[in-house]
Chain A
Amino acid sequence: GQQLNQSPQSMFIQEGEDVSMNCTSSSIFNTWLWYKQDPGEGPVLLIALYKAGELTSNGRLTAQFGITRKDSFLNISASIPSDVGIYFCAGLPPNFGNEKLTFGTGTRLTIIP
């Protein structure tokens, strides 16, 4: 099955730093979603994007749907300890209807004391 290329795989930052991660695909998507997963829990939706070029914010988080429909990025500003976790992108390809999400491989964010 198709996988999204998500980078970086891991990030080690200090509290207060800004964070940027992205997902790319060789195929186009109609929807891009960004999730966060904490240890021992299921993913939680952070931001959803439905139109090429769309830029959406959720507090300190900002995500964009790439113009080519083949990529998306997520930025976190002024990181805090509760931002630690694994971040996943996910996309809905147009030819699979509205249910078969393709997930990225995840970016593990660690905050160094």
Chain B
Amino acid sequence: DADVTQTPRNRITKTGKRIMLECSQTKGHDRMYWYRQDPGLGLRLIYYSFDVKDINKGEISDGYSVSRQAQAKFSLSLESAIPNQTALYFCATSDQPIGQGATQYFGPGTRLTVL
């Protein structure tokens, strides 16, 4: 079984709808991240969490919210989806700060289309 899972893998929704993307991990890591990938732009950090009580904004948090329900679960919500939120979304985990030798483990991604 995969260490980092994301559900759903694909989702098509309409403008104005509320959407939740879910991430679960079995690696026992405290740190979890949500990224967005757009063609030609690389990955950009949306939110990250050091533990269930510590949530931090990333580079592009506007229009998104997150919930860390447990060490193993980190959800990303779009309260009112808009077309420019169409993208590939990745969840990742690590056990240490990235700059101190940690490896980030990425999930398989969720492809979201907002019509």
Interface residues of A (CB under 8 A from B): 1, 3-4, 6, 30-31, 33, 40-45, 48, 50, 88, 90, 92, 97-101, 103-106
Contacts and interface: CB of A to CB of B under 8 A. Distances in A.
Nearest to A31: B99
Q: Is the interface of A mostly helix, strand, loop or mixed?
A: loop
Interface of B: 4, 31, 33, 40-45, 48, 56, 58-60, 90, 92, 97-101, 103-104, 106-109
27 contacts: A1-B44, A1-B59, A1-B60, A4-B42, A31-B99, A41-B106, A42-B4, A42-B90, A42-B106, A42-B107, A42-B109, A43-B43, A43-B90, A44-B106, A45-B103, A50-B101, A92-B98, A97-B97, A97-B99, A98-B99, A99-B45, A99-B98, A101-B45, A101-B98, A103-B43, A103-B44, A104-B42
